[in-house]
Structure 1
């Protein structure tokens, strides 16, 4: 290949590059001297060719295999930049031109690297045959900083390679921001812990979130919110040191891994990130916007010994940072007793999952006694978890933790299965069961109810589903749909713990429930508290007017029974009527 004789950066004597540089081919002389070393043949075998382009004169000198690799019969047609550009697909031509037309640099020794892909029409613009090529190399500037010489390698890119590249990007990177996705970020964090075992240098993991993203989305739309997220990522990326890692953890959260970074250094870095986002507005399709971020961090391994701890502690610190009125950084601080609570919660979660897998969930029944007849007419299904040693744990000890950890849907489905089995076993039994707020939106639970009952009205009409007051008002429209679906199937619906939250009787009427269970806090001191007596009487009267039955919980003494009966309560439930019985011990008295 003929090459220009005055290429900046080649190190000729008298050049700005300084002393003459060693010839790389001469250093490899022992290999080059062998007849079997055929550089052109090697390039041809991998469908690559090379060129040198003098941008001042426009001349391009090609390696001798260029015609065969590119499919160009006459190399004279591509012996100039203009001639070669005439073969580039019009929609891709600017991609190559911009590499050189917009480039400005001062390094005349190393030059500037470039890498682009475009489609080529080897037979000319009217030919349908095209190939995709990857063009990469370096260009060197002249006195004005603009490119004057370029050297590069062009490789024909096969479709299989492009698909591999697309899969690699899709599997490794977040589509919106171009940063690592959550899976790869977690893997990178795991690699940090492996590295620390060999080289115990302090590192840090930061969790960063874009503030007020919900407001931006609501005001300008999700697309503008995405622009804000992408710009925040770009700015943070620009302020990272070499070797540090940035990845998108969730919608508006990013994880940052900082190597060889102790507590003091991480504070400095966090302030740098806060400042680069805060100091200037960002340009979006909706106009200029101002955004801020909050950051929480943890030092590894001083404060975290594993991936999950690092993520959880950084998130906890981030929550603390977001609770403040300004954008800021908070470094994680351990809370006395919190670790033991976390261990306890994890143990409870493990026990719940094992009990579900081993069918060790049991039902006990607590009677709802009719105020008119004094006899049990409905039984509430209460869940118990049987331990491997045969001991039982009440729902109050594990359900709250299970709800926090997202296990309540699994528990509710198992409770439903046990309840339907019991209804099938005893044709005279009327049962009520509690469901969590998550189940109100769980289509699978409704599907399971249909499947287990097979649409049998003799089962569905004897089932009452209880939802708590707080769950009902959290998403009122969703709760209305849930209640309507249950009633269409033939079930009754009750609001549990009424009075503990903020539901009005107006909402109860909108929900169209059949029964109101008055929270036990208004019942346990009923005999001695006249304000509770007035409250109970008012609620019973209002419920009766809109056609709802009432249940008083936590009934524990005879005087309360008398007052509740006088108030017109429909059912009473509590230890006054005895302890819950094992579902397997139920015997009909009818």
Structure 2
């Protein structure tokens, strides 16, 4: 580009002297290079000296044909160089051109006085310079004045100057200066004209550029605001943030880095992340990760690291490269979340899902799961096993008398004893014993399960446990004893729950025989097994109530006129210790027998109300069952009234169901119960209707809104003529009383069509939809 620009300015027809060497004396490397290019394109050989000392040495050594010298140079200026050349008899014939920015009169006079052959000002015209060089090298006398004397006295600005050059040289230099001035004048005139024509364009460009600059400034301000915002986010971030350079050396850390690691920023700047790890394994692991990162591989994952004090902590880390506009990696950004507490909590949750927090033994759920797994695998192997269930005698009294700390210590001491026996007892260490399972089943109950155990072996192990507990002296102020029951597999049962039930019955027998003794299940213990099973179920139900493990499930009820589902029956389900969902047939009868059904009803109703609050969908209603045991319970009625009052307008979306048999047992009480809730805006349904036709008598007394036809009439409706007769009669009576009807146990399309034909209002059953924990999974044929 430089050569093209210069070549454009060289006149095409000048008498150049190809191969002639010209010395350039110029301390500016850029100007020297430009001048050298100009001469080279004209065919000259150009050499460059950067100061006067080296120039004089090069002149004496190389004797160039011509010298072009700048004036303003360090140490020796151009005037001195010129004088030195003209004083030297061997060099004085070399023409010297002074090329300078000085245009003042005194500089011109000084140049003439130093003996310069030409004085050309910068910026120079390449045409003038090359024509001057050609003329000086040609030695032509055209237009020159012959020298007649060796000096000239001139007066400038009142000062006299003696110019030692010859008159001809002086005149020649003056003529050259005049020519140069005229050329400069013409160019100046042309430039002024061009400047005038470009001025308006320039002003417009200035305005445009000003607007562009303002836009750039605004954009830069926005970018700076974003940077400040990002900086604030990083500074206040809850995550660890640090930045390294391209070599992995830390250049920035945020306050959270300092807080978590314990290092100050000044302690880590300039160090690599792996340098902060004192543990050799952690350092090597981190070094390998960063080796990949520095090779261009982004990394994310979980790391274990060390704080300044050596404490371990865990982070979830992401490391990404930082790139500039040229896509070159300039550093790396590491963002890390301290997940130490989260991991500890997760580990704790996993531990508590399997182990008892007090004793460290398997909890009930995990024990039952392992027991079932072992017995399932054993059905092929055919091995024998023993299950011992042990209960600390009078444990409640220990807790009440000496406090829970003493109670916990008693539990721990029993657990330590069981662990010691599992490791040291010959029967439990034998090959046929297999893996020994130890568990804390409930508050004061333990279990030991082991293999290869005949009755005498089971008794021996049980006795070792009993004697060991009796010998514990430091756990409680009083002597502690334990009762143990046992059952054998497969002799007494071939499934885990049967085995546990029989061991419980044997334990109960040991208690009745005086406690502090062992008893293996006998046939005569079967009556205790049944009673013990019911007691065990009662305890499980109570535990589920205390833990809030009774859940509402929802079954859809279809409106047969619109074929839509906007109504659901709320059904109770119990979640056992293992997470299994149990149907009402497993717990309702026992809950009613032991008088704890009201707690289940309250929990299901309360959760149903809260569920409805979270789904305020217009027109959606819910039916909830109330046990007949609760109709005369004033506390339960008060609970219901409070819950309904809190629901406000939403009360109209709830329907309460009581069974026909419960209602007719005490009609007056049922009527009062129904009227109380209906006055608050609720509706009522009579469930299992039709079991006894005597109940028609009481329909006019009970102001119910729905009749649920008992499923025994619905199951065979398409094949049994009598069932159809009964159902049609119920529907007709209900219609006359303006009571809507609901058919249960609808399981076939044929049944549904008959119900539509009879004018039944609603249908419920597996054909419509099965119960589920949420509404999304139970919307059947709506």
- For the superposition of Structure 1 and Structure 2, which TM-score range results when normalised by the shorter chain? 0.3 to 0.5
TM-score, with structure 2 as normaliser: 0.32
Larger radius of gyration: 2
TM-score (norm 1): 0.43
Which structure has more relative contact order (CA 8 Å, sep 6+)? It is 1
More helix by share: 2
